[in-house]
């Protein structure tokens, strides 16, 4: 099957310093994304075009849906369960209290309804301080893998197999786990070259192709399950950070970008950096899951 994609369209000129955490919530007809550095959650209802920006008191890497207005936020040193309607905190789960300079980065819900997320050194020093975690349905935290510079992804092939990235080492791993959240196999799925930028957030479509955002590479590339590149989408923004399928027919891709670290000349060249984009495609995504407690 040939993948067809429309021209990227800006749907929110959000000027995100570090846009991330794209999340489609079908029951809300809404797309969510965050700006890590500005500590903001953006929400756009695609049916009514209603927008909302929610300010948080910590840097936020992602949000995941539980039910109604209840979400899990991945914050600096903490997972926080909140009601986004009234901003009430329901529960706080501390993460890596022994590493105050770390923060949570990317996170996603797997087909079983568990939350997978990673941490990283917030100063982005050249140290492998990041780890990969899983939060199970009983709210137990499992440390699954260690020694990452910058954790990104994850993207789920099925409940036992997923892809997970170390952006700084430009490597995407394929990981197989057992029922006890232990890794039984870890292989390199892809390694980016210098000109590609760094692999950032990603998503998997219903045909098991993986859509990978290129940080510093101004594009999204699509690879089949064997790691062969089958499609590429150029974007008028330099740092592409995260993408997810959504929309009323689940055949649209929503894309966050970042202005972080860009020079004036780069901003001139990539004028729409920091914007939030939408692309239409002939492929559908996998239905987004909510966290199961």
Sequence ranges of the binding site for a divalent metal cation: 20, 152, 200
User: Under 8 Å CB-to-CB from 42, ≥6 apart: which residues?
Assistant: 12, 14, 32, 33, 34, 35, 51, 52, 53, 276
Identify whether 200 is a catalytic site residue: yes
- Which is the catalytic residue, given 121, 145, 166, 200? 200
Pairing state of beta strands 252-258 and 171-177?
A: unpaired
Task: Confirm if 241 and 258 have CB atoms less than 8 A apart.
Answer: yes
Binding residues for substrate: 103, 105
Contact between 54 and 12 under an 8 Å Cβ cutoff? The reply is no
- List the binding residues: 20, 103, 105, 152, 200
Coil/strand/helix, residue 47: coil
Q: Would you mind telling me the total number of residues written for the chain in this entry?
A: 293
Query: For residue 191, what are the contacts with CB-CB under 8 A and spacing of at least 6?
Result: 170, 171, 172
Catalytically active residues are: 200
């Amino acid at each position: 099957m040939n993948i067809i994609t429309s021209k990227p369209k800006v749907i929110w000129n959000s000027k995100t310093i570090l846009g991330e955490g794209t999340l489609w919530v079908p029951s809300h007809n809404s797309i969510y994304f965050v700006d890590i550095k500005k500590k903001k959650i953006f929400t756009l209802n695609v049916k009514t075009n209603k927008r909302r920006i929610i300010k948080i008191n910590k840097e936020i890497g992602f949000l995941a849906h539980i039910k109604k207005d209840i979400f899990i936020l991945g914050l600096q040193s903490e997972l926080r369960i909140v009601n986004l309607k009234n901003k009430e905190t329901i529960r706080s789960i501390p993460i890596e209290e022994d590493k105050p300079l770390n923060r949570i980065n990317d996170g996603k819900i797997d087909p079983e309804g568990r939350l997978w997320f990673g941490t990283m050194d917030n100063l982005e020093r050249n140290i492998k301080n990041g780890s990969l975690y899983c939060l199970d349905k009983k709210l137990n935290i499992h440390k699954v893998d260690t020694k990452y510079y910058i954790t990104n992804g994850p993207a789920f092939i099925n409940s036992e197999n997923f892809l997970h990235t170390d952006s700084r080492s430009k490597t995407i791993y394929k990981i197989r786990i057992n029922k006890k959240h232990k890794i039984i196999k870890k292989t390199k799925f892809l390694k980016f070259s210098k000109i590609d930028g760094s692999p950032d957030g990603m998503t998997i479509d219903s045909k098991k192709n993986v859509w990978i955002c290129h940080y510093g590479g101004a594009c999204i590339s699509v690879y089949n399950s064997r790691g062969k590149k089958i499609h590429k989408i150029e974007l008028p923004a330099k740092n592409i950070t995260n993408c997810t399928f959504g929309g009323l027919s689940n055949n649209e891709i929503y894309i966050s970008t970042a202005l972080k670290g860009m020079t004036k000349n780069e901003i001139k060249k990539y004028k729409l950096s920091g914007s939030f984009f939408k692309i239409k495609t002939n492929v559908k995504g996998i239905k987004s899951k909510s966290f199961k407690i």
